[in-house]
Structure 1
Amino acid sequence: MFKLFSKNFWAIIARLILRNKIGILIAIILATIFFSSQWKNMRFSYTEANLLPDDHEVNVTYNEFLNIFGEEGNLILLGVKDSTLFTVEKLNAWNKLSEDLKAFDEVETVVSLNDLKKLIKNKEAEKFDLVPFIKDSVTSIEQINKLQDELFKQYPFYDNFLFNTKTRTIRTAIYIKKDIVNTSARKDFIMETFIPKVEDFETANNLDVRVSGMPYIRTLNAQNIVDEIGLFIVLALGVTSFIFFLFFRSFRATFISLIVVCIGVMWTFGIIGLLNYEITVLTALIPPLIIVIGIPNCIFLINKYQHEVKLHGNKVKSLQRVITKVGNATLMTNVTTASGFATFILTESTLLKEFGIVASLSILAIFILCLLVIPIIYTFLPYPQERHLEHLNKKWIGGFVDWTVRMVREQKIAIYATSLILIIGSIIGIYQIKISGSLIEDMPKEEAFFKDIRFFEEEFDGIMPLEIMVDTKRKKGVMKLSTLKKMEELENLIDDIPELSRPISVVSLVKYSKQAYYNGNPKFYQLPTSQENSFILSYAKNSSSEANLLENFVDSTGQYARITTYMKDIGTDKMERIEEDLQNKINKVFQPENRYNVTMTGKALVFQKGTKYLVKNLAISLSLAIFLISLFMAYMFRSFRMIIVSLIPNLLPLVITAGLMGYLGVPIKPSTILVFSIAFGISVDDTIHFLAKYRQELQANHWKIRKSVYAALRETGVSMFYTSIVLFFGFIVFTTSSFGGTVALGALVSATLLFAMLSNLLLLPSLLLSLERSIANKEVMREPSINIIPVEDDDPKDTRNS
């Protein structure tokens, strides 16, 4: 039977690497230069993460809305809650700020107090004129008092849009041009022009200006992601290299490892650029992940090299054995880790596909780099000094391994009982897990822009737009009185939902028109009767000013209307209930006659639906990871029973982690969904190493099970401990993030890998001992398809040190 990864194959690979070291190093340098040249293609995401497939019904509806009404997320808000604003000097300064912002090319329009206009009835021309509340500038406190009286008492059309009548909070709406709102030009404008302008105004007028709106939030959020990429890379390098140095006590070995993982990071950025992918909150995690995953590869290879040098002192022979003995094992562990990430490729979410592709390719790339660079560099270096080999005889690590052997030998019942208790407790916790579809939950809580989001939620009932699109199925159907009445009925029902803001639509404009027709009397802020409708609309048709206002609420054909409300940041469960309640209200108002097609959409709804979609895909991706890794195990060990035994210790940590999420109130969301597939793909590496060594010990010890289990445990325990500690502290680095989701990801993966190490050191060998009769015999444990740790003919004892 053909065996691709046989001992002879790896012997050939070892010879090729060591005999062509100069050529390989040149090839690596050229590849690094090539990948570096692709960095120019990298770009940061300027839109929210769309978690749904492009052809998903929710996305189709949202894109249809954008095609009709244009980009909805182009609004930036400035807000001030300060009674001193209503003084001559400060109010004029506030209005001047708005005028200054209008001058920038990136701004489409600005609506501030200075821009508010009254609809005034022009009897002679039989039309409405727009007359500004403030004609030039404010000159007296009496003028300000009159303005407040008019705004807060006489013109409800503007209430909850530019001011809050109850708290006297004022805000200004800045609309960014729609063609730049999803480009780098938006970022440049906000970071380099807009923010400094607002800060100068705050300083000059001693006012606290709150800023929000999706373009602003997205820009600052993206900037935080960019800042944290560098922070994570530096921290991951620092923490993992420090732990590496503690283990090996060698600056040389530490420096070599740093070179390898730094090249790996450069290749990762190059892969992102080569594939022309955006850097999102997920792909930003991959470079530090490569460092965390790459360092254990270095540990395996360098540890083996030092073992071999200590045994026989032959450097060339040692490097050959590093490649032949550890190369295969490292390949299989990296393939299983990559498989955990690669399962995301099979989802229909573009965001997850890109993450899975880049992560899996980068993991395979770091394996190739480790296998090539480390042996080649060591050919140019002198023998390790005696102090560099002292870590091989550390008593405290031996004491830890002795403890695990003693527990497996004497406390199997306690191990099983503890595992059972943890499973039962975790299952209870799993039922308490909640799902989060919030757009802002993972954003940095301590950042000023997050606090401003809460400010606008409190003052204006939310900032995340929820759009309702009404299709009347005929041109100019929106302005029919029957349609307007139905829209008003729905708006009244929306207004009763405390989590939603007062809706605004063409209905408000028509009500305002009637008020203007009756000389501004606020009592007439209502829809016209059928008798009034004809002559009020005739005034409106003659008014170009009203037509301009109408463009924001009705499409050019008059067939489609939009009702815009804003949603508070609420949990997914509550959001689903509101959506269901709102859909029932829509059906009640519009559907009985079947003359309208009314749909809900908006960024908040798309994101919430995307989270639900990911949760459904979680089970699929995790099942795929388990299935793929089971195939690897089947091919390696050719034993169904061994597959079951190997999966149990790796599924247990996942169950425990899921239970902890329930107890600690960590919800399922896009960031935490990744935990399970990532952790499973990494934790199964220890199982592969242990079982491969166990098989080898069985053959060497003439199928004496207990002796083989304990020998395998002693040999692999140190490596498991080393790599698990590196991985644990490597992922802990992510807890320094200001993003809640990244913190949760780092903490949960770290905890899962720690549980996985204990599970593989305690539960796995205990299962092998308890099931020894059924799984540890020549029929079940027959010759593997892949010799992960090949036995060497010239030195059989040496296999114990692999």
Structure 2
Amino acid sequence: MREESWVNRLWRRIAYDRSIGFGFEHVGLTTLRFPRIMALIALAFTILCFTQLPRANVDGDLMRVYAHSGHYYDAYERLSETFGTFENDIYVLVNSPSLTDPATLEKVRELAFDLELNEFAVGSMSPFTLRKPSGEGGSVPAVPEGMTDFAQVARALSDLQQNDPMMRNLITPDLTGMVLIMFPNQAMTKGDGTKAMLVSLREMLSYYEGDDLQIELTGPPIWTSEMLNAAVDDQIKFTVYGFALGALIALLALRSLTGALLVAATPFVAVMWSMGSVIMMFGSFSFLTIIVTTLVIVMAFAESMFFIFNWLAYWRDGMEPHKAVDATLKLVGPATALTTLTTLVAFVSLYFSPGQGVQEFAIAGAMGCCIVFLCLMTVMPLLLKMALQLGFKLPRTPSFALNAPVPVAWKLATKLGRPITVLSVVLVGLLFVPYFLIQPRFSLQDFMARGSDAMSAAEEIDQGVGGVAPLYVRVPLADNDPNLSTRDFETLRTVHEIIEGELGENKVISIASMSNYTDNGFSREDVFDAVGPFMKRRFITEDGTQGLVTGFMATIIESDALKQMVARIDDKLADAGIADAEIGGFRVLTTFATDDIVRSLQISLSISVVINIFLIGFAFGSMRVAVASIVPNMFPILGTEAYLWLSGSGLQLTTVIALTIAFGIAVNDTIHFLSHYVHGRREEHRDHLGSVKNTMERIGGAIVATTVILCVGTIIVAFSELPQVALFGTLFVLSLALALIGDLFMLPAILVAGAKFFAPLGRIRVRTADHDPTPDDPTGDTLTGRGPYPVRPEP
């Protein structure tokens, strides 16, 4: 007989002579073989991760989410480096029914000067910092000092509000409100500097607040601070409640307090390992990576429940409990390795989408998947054996409520298998319609904490002065004149008029908006001297190579409206021959970058689904298994997208992430189901229907329990103060609930209806367990003849 080539041996090893877990379950087999060494390694890593926890913090920089996300981020970076931006400015909204009272006005003037002198400020803008050319080679305050009656104050403020473009955006038409803007020192506000700045400001402002003055703070630093506080509070609640609810459900399911603690122990260790790993990898959490902790909790609880259910089932069947731990690890290990790979694929697919935040989330999530698997293969068997040593007794049979849906699902599958299969296929086909119709959407308020005082103040500014959210147009200049040549002035004026046509009269500032001074005989150099060097840098670079036109729009604006407006501005700039001008700003960045990221994530989701279905087929050595998994795994994703489309929510950043990760986790139940089914066919020699029924009876309750744990552990996320995080939780739970329907009702019906199609699965060559069997181990390898079952001859 000719010796087999090394290529054929390698292919056979990859394709057939392996387990469905591709051998990764050997981590668990190593634990069984060297328990003390593995326990020491696990303990050492646990201690290392615990030492990292004091460094835990959440980075409140929202720009971290969008960093390196493409053209609009690059434009924003260029804009910031050239001119600075208004994006990190603090807005102080001052309201007073007696603002035109000279005494009240002087009090506000004093507040404005204190604001400018604050240690965290590099400058400020208010009616009191603005100066007008005096006509004598100098300048005078735009709001005269020493006014003595209401009429004088009213005339001065009305003149500014009506004739000065900058003040139009800072003084309300009814003269009862005024906006003061502080420009923070960016170097001092890094890290915890923002928190210290807000404490300093609130302490200063409290001195001026009273019956005559109502003062509110708003602006991006306030918003991100509120988001950060909400995110940290959420994470504490999610972790505590997630553990408590998971343990409670495990207690109700197992009817054993010790059993519930054993289920909860592995998730606890997994969370500690994942938190320590994220801190070591990134130094801090972000608004996205902080979600990984909750995902690790629910994934670890679900896999722990599968492990415990199988272990107790072997024990109740008469197997010695220590050997039952070994048998469970050998049977569940390969399926768990495969579920880890599918979830890993879902996370890794996110990495190829633009945006540093999404990529960090993908890495953190991938690490979390691996950590959950390692904990299950090491910590879980070690804890179970330790519990047995300490006298753990077999608990009562699981709660009837968990198994109640199983007989119903089996009866429907046997009586209505074909109609349910046809209905499922048609339904999934119809759900592709909203999949292609749904569009990305971005809304700033969805990122803000509910009941945000800063957002309320921003809305009040929108209503009072029409908004102060900036939209920038950076314009290259031809003559490089620091005081602006006539030709460059005309270019800026053209851009100014285009933006003003979109945002409204006096809602744009640039050097062209100073025409009320230049028309009265003042030179542009006089005007620049009057506004001061700080504000001059907001109009033109020191070398005169670039100019800036800034429009102010409402803070609350729909993404579609903003995209349409930017498109119109682009067209008008091109028509005017200024095609090299660049539109930017935080709202423009977040809207367009979110659009790009979401579309990329949607593609990643589709690729993830295809790869995972193929991976399942390859892992089992039969594409028939992949075919069986298509409908139950597509149904939850398409169903959830249909909900988003019908509700008008659209695709947002966290919604696509939720869908991708929910798919990766939801497919786990399908894999465990198919693994048990194929194991029954291949190694227990059951017939097709007998294997389906035995699988439902053996793990149906576990599927229900794990889904309940996943849903309950994640539903608390739906109560987050941050709408985006809350939506993530809602969609995650909806996807998992639909996945339960797919795995418990659709999948068995498909298997029953396709009895002839799935008949060959009893002869697949890959193993559903990989081990050295013991005499009473019911997971033997029939292809090699090892184990209690006789060899089934190949047809």
Asked if Structure 1 and Structure 2 have the same fold, meaning a TM-score greater than 0.5 normalized by the shorter chain, the answer is yes
Pair 643,747 (structure 1): closer, same or farther in 2 beyond 3 Å: same
Q: What residue in structure 1 maps to residue 41 of structure 2?
A: 27
Q: Residues 625-636 of structure 1: matches in 2 within 5 Å?
A: 625-636=608-619
Deviates more, 1:477-486 or 1:578-587: 477-486
**Equivalent position to 1:130, from 140, 149, 171:** 140
Query: For the residues of structure 1 that align with 2:285 and 2:742, how far apart are their CA atoms?
Result: 35
Letter of the aligned partner of 2:97 in structure 1?
S
CA change 1:112–1:375 in 2 (3 A) is same
The TM-score normalised by the length of structure 1 is 0.88
Distance 1:292 1:403, change over 3 A: same
Matching residue of 1:175: 183
- Give the structure 2 partner of residue 365 of structure 1: 371
Q: 1:144 aligns with which of 153, 162, 170?
A: 153
Cα distance between partner residues in 1 of 2:730 and 2:22: 42
Q: Residues 738 and 789 of structure 1: is their aligned pair in 2 closer, same or farther, counting only changes over 3 Å?
A: farther
Amino acid at match of 1:608: T
Q: Is the 8 A contact 2:166 2:509 kept in 1?
A: no
Q: Give the number of equivalent residue pairs.
A: 766
In the superposition, the TM-score normalised over structure 2's length comes to 0.88
> SS of 2:480's equivalent?
coil
Match of 1:525 in 2: none
Provide the residue aligned with 1:532 in structure 2: none
Q: 1:172 aligns to what SS in structure 2?
A: strand
Q: What is the aligned counterpart of 1:609 among 561, 586, 592?
A: 592
Specify the alignment match of 2:510 in structure 1.
Answer: 505
The offset of 1:367, in angstroms, is: 2.0
Residues 692, 748 of structure 2: 8 Å contact kept: yes
Q: Tell whether 2:724 aligns with 1:730.
A: no
1:426 to 402, 422, 431: 431
Inter-CA distance 308–8: structure 2 relative to 1 (3 Å threshold): farther
Per-residue CA deviation, residues 425-451 of structure 1 (Å, 9 max, x unaligned), is 634544653421233333223221221
User: Quick one: distance in 1 between partners of 2:609 and 2:218?
Assistant: 43
Alignment of 1:614-625 (within 5 A): 614-625=597-608
> In the superposition, relative to structure 1, how do residues 504 and 184 fare at CA in structure 2: closer, same or farther (>3 Å)?
same
State the partner residue of 1:565: 551
1:473 aligns with 2:473: no
Shift of 1:14: 5.7
* C-alpha distance in 2 between matches for 1:563 and 1:371: 60
CA contact (8 A) 1:703 1:776 kept: no
Residues 6 and 551 of structure 1: is their aligned pair in 2 closer, same or farther, counting only changes over 3 Å? Answer: closer
Which SS does the other structure have where 2:290 is aligned?
helix
- Match runs of 1:80-95 below 5 Å: 80-95=94-109
C-alpha deviations, 1:731-776, integer Å up to 9, x for none? 2111010111111111111111111111122222222222222332
What's the CA shift for 1:103? Answer: 3.1
The range that moved more, 545-554 or 468-477, is: 545-554
Q: How far does the alpha carbon of each residue in 1:431-485 deviate from its partner, in whole angstroms, 9 at most, with x for none?
A: 6534212333332232212212211222233343211011023311872334333
Q: Does 1:194 align with 2:201?
A: yes
User: Distance between the aligned counterparts of 1:744 and 1:12, measured in 2?
Assistant: 39
Please give the alpha-carbon distance, in whole angstroms, between the structure 2 residues aligned to 1:163 and 1:10: 67
Q: What are the Cα deviations for residues 539-580 of structure 1, in whole angstroms up to 9, with x where unaligned?
A: 558x47655542221000112110111333322222221111
Kept after mapping to 1: 8 A contact 2:616/2:626: yes
| 2:411 equivalent to 1:406 | yes
Q: Where does the alignment leave 5 or more consecutive residues of structure 2 unmatched?
A: 1-11, 781-795
Judge which range, 718-727 or 692-701, deviates more: 692-701
Over 3 Å counting, the alpha-carbon distance change for 1:58 and 1:501 in structure 2 is farther
What amino acid does structure 2 have at the position aligned with 1:178?
A: Q
- Residue 331 of structure 2 is matched in structure 1 by 325
- What secondary structure sits across from 2:68 in the alignment? coil
> After superposition, what is the alpha-carbon deviation per residue over 1:215-241, rounded to whole angstroms, capped at 9, x for unaligned?
222222222222222122112112212
Give the CA deviation at 1:141: 4.2
Give 3-state SS (helix, strand or coil) of 2:519's partner.
helix
Cα deviations across residues 290-309 of structure 1 (Å, max 9, x unaligned)? 11111112212222332333
2:676–2:695 CA contact under 8 A, matched in 1: yes
Write the letter of the residue equivalent to 1:336: T
Q: Which of residues 453, 460, 472 in structure 1 aligns to 2:458?
A: 453
Task: Determine the structure 1 residue equivalent to 2:786.
Answer: none
Matches within 5 A, 1:607-686: 607-686=590-669
- Does the CA contact (< 8 Å) of 1:344 and 1:353 recur in 2? yes
CA change 1:353–1:788 in 2 (3 A) is farther
**Equivalent pair of 1:735/1:747 in contact (CA under 8 Å):** yes
Q: Quick one: distance in 1 between partners of 2:429 and 2:616?
A: 28
Structure 1 position 75, deviation (Å): 1.4
After superposition, the C-alpha distances for 1:24-44 in whole angstroms (9 at most, x for unaligned) are: 333223212222334466553
Q: Which amino acid aligns with 1:262?
A: F
Distance of 2:355 and 2:654 partners within structure 1? 14
CA distance in 2, matches of 1:549, 1:326: 67
Deviation sequence 1:327-378 (CA, Å, 0-9, x none) = 2222222222222112112334321111111111112112212322222223
2:782 aligned with 1:772: no
Q: Give 3-state SS (helix, strand or coil) of 1:118's partner.
A: strand
Deviation at 1:672, TM superposition (A): 0.5
CA gap of 1:795–1:18, structure 2 versus 1, over 3 A, is: closer
Q: Secondary structure at the match of 1:570?
A: coil
Q: Report the counterpart of residue 484 of structure 1 in structure 2.
A: 489
Q: In structure 1, what is the Cα distance between the partners aligned to 2:106 and 2:636?
A: 62
Aligned to 2:59: 45
Corresponding position of 1:493: 498
Partner in structure 2 of residue 717 of structure 1: 700
Where in structure 1 are there 5+ consecutive unaligned residues? 518-534
Distance of 1:41 and 1:563 partners within structure 2: 43
CA drift at 1:140: 5.1
Report the CA distance shift for 1:133/1:306 in structure 2 as closer, same or farther (over 3 A): same
* Structure-1 separation of matches of 2:727 and 2:524: 56
Distance 1:84 1:246, change over 3 A: farther
Q: 1:277 to 1:458 in 2, by over 3 A?
A: farther
Determine if contact 2:90/2:217 at 8 Å carries over to the other structure: yes
Out of 1-10 and 193-202, give the one that drifted further. Answer: 1-10
**Are residues 1:747 and 2:730 paired?**
yes
Q: Give the equivalent residue in structure 1 for 2:764.
A: 783
- Read off the aligned partner of 1:599 and give its amino acid letter: E
Structure 1 residues 589 and 674, CA gap change in structure 2 (3 angstroms): same
The equivalent of 2:540 in structure 1 is 554
Asked if 1:440 is matched to 2:445, the reply is: yes
One-letter identity of the residue aligned with 1:582: I
Q: 1:537 to 1:462 in 2, by over 3 A?
A: closer
Name the CA distance, whole Å, in 2 between partners of 1:781 and 1:556: 78
Tell me the alpha carbon deviations over residues 200-224 of structure 1, each in whole angstroms, 9 at most, x when there is no partner: 533x345432322222222222222
95 and 318 in structure 1: CA distance in 2 versus 1, 3 angstrom threshold: same
Per-residue deviation, residues 145-187 of structure 1 (Å, max 9, x unmatched): 454354345x424432321235642111111113345543123
Q: Following the alignment from structure 2 to structure 1, what is the Cα–Cα distance between the partners of residues 108 and 413?
A: 73
Give the Cα separation in 2 of the matches to 1:436 and 1:20: 53
Given residue 252 of structure 1, which amino acid in structure 2 is its aligned partner?
T
The match for 1:66 is 80
Going from structure 1 to structure 2, the CA distance change for 1:206 and 1:425 (only over 3 Å counts) comes to farther
Would you say 1:261 and 2:248 are equivalent positions?
no
| Match of residue 9 from structure 2 | none
CA distance in structure 2 between the aligned counterparts of 1:201 and 1:798, rounded to whole angstroms: 77
SS in structure 2 of the partner of residue 645 of structure 1: helix
Q: CA RMSD in A?
A: 3.2
1:138 CA drift (Å): 6.2
2:431·2:642 contact (CA, 8 Å) conserved in 1? yes
2:351 aligned with 1:345: yes
The letter for the 2-side match of 1:395 is: F
| Matched-pair contact (CA < 8 Å) for 2:345–2:664 | yes
Q: Is the 8 A contact 1:329 1:789 kept in 2?
A: no
Match of 2:340 among 323, 328, 334: 334
Q: Is the Cα contact below 8 Å between 1:635 and 1:784 reproduced in 2?
A: no
Q: Find the counterpart in structure 1 of residue 164 from structure 2.
A: 156
